Amino acid sequence: MLNLKIVSPERIEFAGQVEMVRVPGTLGQFEILKDHAPIISTLQKGVVEYDGQQLEILGGFVEVQKNEVSLCVEKSE
């Protein structure tokens, strides 16, 4: 399992355990699964998907380290 935290300027959008996260990276969409290599990446406008949920974003950053996934995003209205 991954510990996912999604934060926007307004509030914490999600915090909990998930099986996978798919994010719209600047160089293309990619999926994060358990034991993913450490990474920091920028995000572009698109959809963040996690365990059947979707969140539209305008951009942001993602950091993955030791099954901890942190997203700092700007949400679409």
Condensed to tens digits (0 to 9), the pLDDT of residues 50-69 reads 999 999 999 999 999 999 99
- Mind listing the pLDDT tens digit for each residue in 3-46? 999 999 999 999 999 999 999 999 999 999 999 999 999 999 99
Place of tokens 């951009």: 59
Pick the closest to residue 69 from 25, 44, 32 (CA basis): 32
How does residue 76 score in pLDDT terms, banded at 50, 70 and 90? confident
User: Which residue in this structure is represented by tokens 């509030």?
Assistant: 11
In this prediction the pTM is 0.93
Helix (H) or strand (E) holding 53: strand 53-65
Residue 77 has pLDDT above 80, yes or no: no
Sign of CA dihedral 27, 32, 38, 43: positive
